[in-house]
């Protein structure tokens, strides 16, 4: 009887398969990924979706972080899931930060633009990042999200607003 492989091992192997690829091949692989489906979608109940899409997304984010591929930031955000199935999305922020460290303004610039997107997964994870960057330019985005966004995004925007210094 064979033991089922752990997600971390699958992701590690997928990332390793891209180590010999060029930067443009990594960026092309990210661009070829479909946007991750919302957490409520029934595809998340099937191993094939995890193996062929979700784990590959995480692995490519890891490779982009290792290589500091700034061109991967927006495509990763544009493919981010609305929700956090299996808690796989929580590491995205760390990958994005590793790509730009210590140029937080560059990351904020990308996230400010992405947070204006209509796609909920993109908006969610852009606002999640902005909430920790403490960039005062995010205030109107947070305020708009608090007023009009779904609960999960609204809660992150509220956190972001609380972290910003008061205007005045």
Between the alpha carbon of residue 2 and those of residues 5, 12, 22, 62, 83, the distances in Å are 9, 19, 34, 28, 32
Sequence-distant (6+) residues with CB within 8 A of 81 are 36, 37, 38, 39, 54, 88, 89, 121
SS3 state of residue 52: helix
Proportion of the chain above pLDDT 70, given as a percent: 97
pTM of the model: 0.95
Give the pLDDT band (50/70/90) at residue 1.
Answer: very low
Between the alpha carbon of residue 98 and those of residues 6, 65, 68, 93, the distances in Å are 24, 5, 7, 9
pLDDT at 4: 84
Cα separation, 21 vs 148, in Å, equals 42
pLDDT at 3: 65
Q: What is the mean pLDDT of residues 88-106?
A: 97
Q: What is the mean pLDDT of residues 13-20?
A: 96
Cα separation, 129 vs 120, in Å, equals 14
Token pair, residue 129, equals: 């990042």
Q: Does the pLDDT value for residue 121 go beyond 60?
A: yes
Cα separation, 82 vs 8, in Å, equals 21
Contact 26, 69 (CB under 8 A): yes
Q: Does the pLDDT value for residue 168 go beyond 70?
A: no
Proportion of the chain above pLDDT 90, given as a percent: 95
Cα separation, 44 vs 65, in Å, equals 25
Burial level of 158, CB count in 10 A (0-12/13-18/19+)?
Answer: middle
Token pair, residue 152, equals: 């999960």
Token pair, residue 37, equals: 């489906």
Q: Does the pLDDT value for residue 48 go beyond 70?
A: yes
């Amino acid at each position: 009887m064979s033991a089922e492989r752990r997600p971390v091992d699958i992701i590690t192997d997928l990332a390793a398969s891209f180590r010999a690829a060029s930067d443009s091949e990594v960026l092309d692989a990210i661009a070829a990924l479909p946007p991750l489906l919302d957490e409520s979608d029934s595809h998340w109940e099937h191993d094939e979706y995890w193996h062929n899409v979700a784990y590959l997304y995480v692995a490519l984010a890891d490779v982009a972080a290792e290589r500091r591929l700034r061109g991967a930031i927006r495509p990763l955000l544009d493919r981010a899931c609305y929700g956090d199935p299996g808690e796989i999305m929580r590491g995205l922020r760390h990958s994005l930060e590793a790509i730009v460290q210590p140029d937080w303004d560059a990351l904020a610039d990308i996230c400010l633009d992405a947070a204006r997107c209509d796609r909920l997964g993109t908006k969610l994870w852009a606002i999640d990042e902005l909430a920790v960057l403490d960039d005062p330019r995010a205030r109107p985005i947070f305020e708009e999200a608090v007023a009009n966004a779904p609960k999960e995004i609204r809660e992150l925007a509220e956190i972001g607003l609380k972290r910003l210094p008061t205007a005045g």
